[in-house]
Chain A
């Protein structure tokens, strides 16, 4: 399962597809890669502007947010089936989801929450990931999240927990450098140190985004320009091992097209990939 390149060819820089910026995304001449939130896709097929990207050979990766792979309950077969159908509809080479849980006791939390880093929690996570993989037509990439709190009684450090998860499931890694930055900043750690401990040969693609400061913490909200420190992490990652694709996530406070294009250029320059804006 080491052949990431067979599952994810080198696609360079991309951007998360959202209806609000669909026109900006369409007008990127060099675009070869985008991602769409799987739960936002209508059951009867992708929106016309997204289907048009697929039809011009842009790789479109469905990105799940509500499978709750780290949840105590077995994964919901209907949700897995929807993710699988999205992969088929978009001819996606892989799909992605989070190392997180999103509901408990029948209550939706409304966001991705961290799982305890214990042996039991890892066993549940591994079982849920394998059950999901068994129903998917394509490989699965897993994304560690930004966490504003930690569970007590951790039995693993973050890098060891993730490495063992990937080893036991054969899953790929979706590395979010904005999450790495947020976690390190909020814990007073060096973000680059985590890069040295993760299996970088498993990285399918990378997320970057900008966040904001509240309550004395950095929140990865995807509503602000990507901060310089995250671009520095992009360069640090690419100096170690350049991932096949990197993409910008924006989920609100959408800026004018020119600003998004400048951000995409900055990302391309930091990674050493060609600019896709013209």
Chain B
């Protein structure tokens, strides 16, 4: 028994893509699946994802009231970008809306001063000194060391 038929891989690829889209990217429930079961799985993935963001963004998670619910609402249907970028995107959105709590603003300012993030690809460490302001927090980074005030 050698390689599976090319059709087998192609058909499986289409069905798996449809299922993953339904679970994490706001896609519709594929034919034949139990919608309730997929809903349970979708929410379980959101809980796991928020736990991962909590580890990478402890001040964001610790200072947002009911972070799990805030994150789940924001992330539902949004393609996972990894905990670092998920938390970064959410923090920026809350900052823009003026609802980012001060400890989380300090955390975001420190990250912004340390790395350059275009919102679409992996953040890249800054080689030059930088100053970034988020809300009332100011982060100053030089030679990789960050100082946050405010």
Contact = CB atoms under 8 A, between A and B. Distances in A.
Residue from B2, B15, B20, B40 with most neighbouring chain A CB atoms (10 Å): B20
B45 A104 contact: no
Contacts of A151: 32-33
Interface in B1-37: 1-5, 7-13, 15-21, 23-25, 31-34, 37
Interface stretch (A57-65, A109-117, A198-206, A225-233): A109-117
Interface string B21-63: 1011100000111100111110111011101100000000000
A121 B20 contact: no
Question: How big is the A interface, by class?
Answer: 35 or more
Contacts of B48: 110-111, 221
Nearest to B9: A72
Given A127-B4, A152-B32, A72 B44 contact: no
A148 B44 contact: yes
Interface of A: 71-74, 101, 103-111, 113, 116, 120-121, 123-124, 126-127, 148-153, 168, 214-217, 219, 221, 252
B8 A107 contact: no
Interface residues of B, number: 42
B44 A111 contact: yes
Contacts of A215: 39-40, 43-44
B136 interface: no
B4 A149 contact: no
